[in-house]
Structure 1
Amino acid sequence: MADLSITYLVLAHESVSRVTRLVDKLLLEDTNGQVIVHYDKKSGKAPYERLSDYYANEPRCHVLLNRVRCGWGQWSLVEATLRMLRYAQASYKTDYYYLLSEYCYPTQPLSALKEHLKKHRGTNFIECENSRWIKGGIREDRYLYRHFLNKRKYPRLHRWTYKWQKWLGLKRKLPDGLTIRFGSQWWCLTQEVIEHVLVLEPYYQSFFRWVWIPDECFFSSLVFSKSEVNSNLLTFYQFNVSGAAVYLDSIVSNKYFFYRKRR
């Protein structure tokens, strides 16, 4: 069977050493893999330049120049991912795209991941769940009302604008043909599905731009019903009661190929 190619998309915003630790591991163990890094524009010019200089002579690592300032819970995180995907689409083709953060790290050799993807070639690994997937806070109201502000930066204004819309009955209608589904953003998707998402994105961006935490529903919603989906994710993560990813002390199963936030 022909070898399988993976492009690893890395969302980064903090530690250059943490990013290089992950990327070096990916490049070493997957000798035909490509890596694209989006380093949050608001995190400063100096660390971005250190990262760019570090991989300046590595043709399989692309530190994205066209960056966006990211805000937690906002469209900018989806836009950062889309920019990495558009860059890849304009440069080459790949079998799979695997979205990671700088806090992710392999639990197994990447050769095991590639064998798993070969065995399930064509399957998309992404959660496409209903709103019960959300453990705390608002559910349907995440997308039925517009969320203009960064909740962490402006918590009172964020809450006030949401309640104001509810009082005035400004509930939104879903675009035709769209079913909202939720799931972790740490997915692994095929070239075919990514092409499908990039075709649909311009039609749905105006809706998802004001969704609260769109990175947990944008890709899941657009992938839903498109093709075979396996909701058994390849990256292990765990949320606390507040909905934040927490650090892990151990891995609970060898069915995962990456963990998120392990000490």
Structure 2
Amino acid sequence: MARIAFILLCHKDPEGVIEQARRLTAVGDYMAIHFDGRAAPGDYRRIRAALKDNPNVVFAWKRAKCGWGEWSLVQATLYAVQSAVAAFPKATHFYMLSGDCMAIKTAEYVHDTLDREEVDYIESFDFFTSGWIKTGLREERLIYRHPFNERSARRLFYATLALQRRLGLTRAVPADLRIMIGSQWWCLRRATIEAILAFCRARPAVLRFFRGTWIPDETFFQTLVPHLVPDGEIRRRPLTFLMFSDYGMPVTFYNDHYGLLLNQDYLFARKISPEARQLKARLGDLYAARGMRFRVSDEGRPLYQFLTGRGRVGRRFAPRVWETESSLGRERELMIVICKKWHVAKRLVERIRGRTGLPVVEYLFDEADCPLPDLGGLQGRLEKRSRHRRALLRMLFDHHRSHRLVLCMDPSGIDLLHDFCSDRARTPLLEIECSFSEAYLAGHARRVGLATEATPPETLAQLLPAIRNDILHEGDRIRDAGFAGLGRLREAAGEAENAAALAEFLSVSHDEAQEILSLPHLFLD
């Protein structure tokens, strides 16, 4: 009978990881856990302490600091796989999971499925001809080197890519490999895993190649498995059920999806919402159940496409990413810098990013060309960003793998501020109060189309007081709204007063705040 070693990659929710490990090993299966090296050390210690007496749990012998799209995700997987192979000689299959996955069948059903055929389950399609990649970089993922992360160092990522293109610094794909692509959620037999590890030891040049590619977790195992295993022993599909919206984002499952999930022709599902406590409890009990029969109808994807195609709004099967969850998340902190002079706010948040490492997004809802990652098209237009603002911010939190995010906003966006401050997330606000010279106001009038270079001085003289009053009115509306946690940085204030406001906003020391503010040209036009 099959004995599964689950390879769990996770970076948050220690209690959920502990529950998942206990649940899946209670029926005799195994688990190797890789907890992201960037995650909170206290969370990792809590997981290790809770599972130290479980003989069916092992931890990756080394932890990688993971970044989306990086080789580090493959390296983390290899660390966990190596530990599982050494610790569990009776394991017959190795199954990749994330902390958001849960079983949607019983252990009996899972083991029977794996016993039925002597095959590997992995999505694996030709990289160049399959059309698996819908948007973004394609062959550039392979033929250029990617030393920087597109999400955390966007400018450097695209600057090095442009430089390599200009200089023609392409590189060859390993001659004997047909590059394949697919989902990272696989289930492989022990012999296949051992062949992959042996290949890694024998072919370090291939590992160096993949180490320089972009998003290798979609190509590394997907390429090596068909290279090492006969085609007849591969089922090119995952055993984990996941769906993507038309914006390219994973669909999240909630309490009312229990029946839908059990009907799918899969063993696990991803992603289960952390807030779907009833669903998690029911699925948690399911894995250990015995004698259950499942009526597999596999209607999930067609039903999803039918409902989304007709724009249905509601909870059951409500699949669009902006409908499936309405909150940014109670554990998250959206830190909003409000300033009419965009260049002042941008200088400050760039300083904050450099000194604290916090992810920063500039005028997301005001500036059409605000630098943003590819979020499946949702980031494309200002109108769409505003309409689906909470969904967009949730994607950005996930993109940066952070529970804290700094955002710049124009004081005219009072409705957005009311919306965000009513969310369960913590939303500290920092208003930057600047002085406005007539030259600045005239330039502002031209930027927003109220004036042109040909506007007569006498007309400008009548216009500028109205613009100044409008700006003052926006500030008054923000203060009159009674937002909790509103701090103020003032151009006319002293260094100590401004440092105190910034320290409270960022939850840093007074000295750190002073260091961030030690920018002599912060308020200059």
Computed over aligned residues only, the root mean square deviation of the Cα atoms, in angstroms, reads: 1.6
Write out aligned runs for 1:35-50 (5 A): 35-50=31-46
Q: SS at the partner of 1:224?
A: helix
Bigger radius of gyration among the two: 2
Conservation of the 8 A alpha-carbon contact between 2:94 and 2:188:
yes
Runs of 4+ in 1 over 6 A off after TM superposition: none
Conservation of the 8 A alpha-carbon contact between 1:135 and 1:241:
no
Q: SS at the partner of 2:272?
A: coil
Write out aligned runs for 1:217-228 (5 A): 217-225=219-227, 226-227=229-230, 228=233
1:176 partner amino acid: A
Deviates further, 31-40 or 231-240: 231-240
Say whether 1:22 aligns with 2:20.
Answer: yes
Q: SS at the partner of 2:6?
A: strand
Say whether 1:206 aligns with 2:211.
Answer: no
Say whether 1:54 aligns with 2:50.
Answer: yes
- Paired with 1:143 and 1:242, the residues of 2 have a C-alpha distance of 24
Conservation of the 8 A alpha-carbon contact between 1:99 and 1:186:
yes
Residues 193-218 of structure 1: per-residue CA shift (max 9 Å, x gap): 11111112242110000110000000
Unaligned runs of 5+ in 1: none
Change (3 A) 1:153 1:240: farther
Deviates further, 227-236 or 188-197: 227-236
Conservation of the 8 A alpha-carbon contact between 1:51 and 1:63:
no
Deviation at 1:140, TM superposition (A): 1.7
What does residue 110 of structure 2 align with?
Answer: 113
Q: SS at the partner of 1:159?
A: helix
Residues 24-43 of structure 1: per-residue CA shift (max 9 Å, x gap): 22122xx2211111000110
- Paired with 1:171 and 1:103, the residues of 2 have a C-alpha distance of 37
What does residue 157 of structure 1 align with?
Answer: 156
2:187 partner amino acid: C
What does residue 184 of structure 1 align with?
Answer: 183
1:152 partner amino acid: R
Unaligned runs of 5+ in 2: 274-525
Q: SS at the partner of 1:42?
A: coil
2:74 partner amino acid: V
What does residue 258 of structure 1 align with?
Answer: 268
Aligned identity (percent) is 34
- Paired with 2:15 and 2:247, the residues of 1 have a C-alpha distance of 28
Deviation at 1:87, TM superposition (A): 1.2
Residues 92-140 of structure 1: per-residue CA shift (max 9 Å, x gap): 32210000000100111121111000001x2000011123111221112
Residues 207-243 of structure 1: per-residue CA shift (max 9 Å, x gap): 0001100000000000014231101211011234554
1:114 partner amino acid: H
Deviation at 1:23, TM superposition (A): 1.6
Conservation of the 8 A alpha-carbon contact between 1:124 and 1:229:
yes
Residues 34-64 of structure 1: per-residue CA shift (max 9 Å, x gap): 1111000110211000000000111111133
Say whether 1:173 aligns with 2:172.
Answer: yes
Residues 235-258 of structure 1: per-residue CA shift (max 9 Å, x gap): 011234554433134346421111
Conservation of the 8 A alpha-carbon contact between 2:124 and 2:180:
yes
Q: SS at the partner of 1:7?
A: strand
What does residue 147 of structure 1 align with?
Answer: 146
Q: SS at the partner of 1:66?
A: coil
Q: Aligned match of 1:63 in 56, 59, 63?
A: 59
TM-score by length of 2: 0.48
Residues 52-79 of structure 1: per-residue CA shift (max 9 Å, x gap): 0000111111133521111110011000
2:223 partner amino acid: S
Q: Flag the structure with more relative contact order, 1 or 2, with Cα contacts below 8 A and sequence separation at least 6.
A: 1
- Paired with 2:30 and 2:161, the residues of 1 have a C-alpha distance of 41
- Paired with 1:51 and 1:105, the residues of 2 have a C-alpha distance of 18
- Paired with 1:230 and 1:96, the residues of 2 have a C-alpha distance of 14
- Paired with 2:122 and 2:178, the residues of 1 have a C-alpha distance of 15
What does residue 285 of structure 2 align with?
Answer: none
Conservation of the 8 A alpha-carbon contact between 1:136 and 1:241:
no
What does residue 229 of structure 1 align with?
Answer: 234
Q: SS at the partner of 2:198?
A: helix
Change (3 A) 1:65 1:191: closer
- Paired with 1:219 and 1:244, the residues of 2 have a C-alpha distance of 22
- Paired with 1:91 and 1:135, the residues of 2 have a C-alpha distance of 39
Conservation of the 8 A alpha-carbon contact between 2:58 and 2:87:
no
Aligned residue pair count = 258
2:57 partner amino acid: C
Change (3 A) 1:246 1:159: farther
